[in-house]
Amino acid sequence: MDTLTISCMDRRLNGILDKENDGSTIMLRNAGANASALRDSIKDIISGNIGKIKLMAHSDCGAMKVVHSALKEGVKTSDYVYQNLVKQFDGKPFGTRKELEELNEKLQMEELKAISNGIEVESNFVDLSKYHFEEPNALIAVFTYHSTDKYEDLCKRAGLDTEATYFIQASSIEEVYSDIEIAVTKLSIKHIVLMAKKPSEYRPVYADMQKLKMKEFMEGTTVQFIKL
Ligand SMILES: [Zn+2]
């Protein structure tokens, strides 16, 4: 049976997630390992042969910076980012970013338990302070459908730098528009790649690319379609 892992899109997690993946781990990723916003993808995937659901949130999370600055410093986010990410923390008790990260882990675990249909759910929080990362020059964000592929393989096949590439994965691009928006507006990522691996994916991903280009937040950003 497969494992479903929900994690953050952060580039620094790629190698850590690859180590966790024995080839039967389906990955879903967005800003903040935000399971609440991936509800449709999760329900879709766990209707298959899933033995375990794993949450892998992490320390020093950019998505939690967005939430913290929105709720503690009044920094504006779009309505879409508020609804999909920030709102679930509004009015909840937390002070520091570390407390917010702990609250996020707790809320996402509650969400997963509520929709897991009896499948075992566990949390494996990643402390990034234990690792060392280089600062890459230009960051890239990839959208691709959820899969068991390793990021090193995907990046090699697409000619991308694994250490510079954020991965956003869901069963539909609509579910992660707010995460792409965060990548563009909060992380200043100027290059978005939509990646399709199977012939059956090429057409829908290409159509998604056209829709994405029309989004207001995409102004000044390049979008590329890579067929693997
Ligand atoms: Zn993160």
Tens digit of each residue's pLDDT (9 = 90 or more) over 76-134: 999 999 999 999 999 999 999 999 999 999 999 999 999 999 999 999 999 999 999 98
How many A from CA of 77 to the centre of ligand 1? 17
Q: How many CA atoms lie within 13 A of 120 on its CB side?
A: 6
Domain boundaries, the chain: 2-62+121-227
Question: What average pLDDT is seen over the chain?
Answer: 96
The C-alpha atoms of residue 209 and residue 139 are separated, in whole angstroms, by: 19
The band of 137, judged by pLDDT with boundaries at 50, 70 and 90, is confident
How many A from CA of 9 to the centre of ligand 1? 6
How many A from CA of 66 to the centre of ligand 1? 10
How many A from CA of 60 to the centre of ligand 1? 7
Q: Report residues near ion ligand 1: CB below 5 Å.
A: 8, 10, 61, 63
Q: At what angle do helices 62-72 and 177-185 cross, to 10 degrees?
A: 80
Tens digit of each residue's pLDDT (9 = 90 or more) over 21-50: 999 999 999 999 999 999 999 999 999 999
DSSP labels, 57-79: -BSS-HHHHHHHHHHHS-----H
The band of 225, judged by pLDDT with boundaries at 50, 70 and 90, is very high
How many A from CA of 199 to the centre of ligand 1? 31
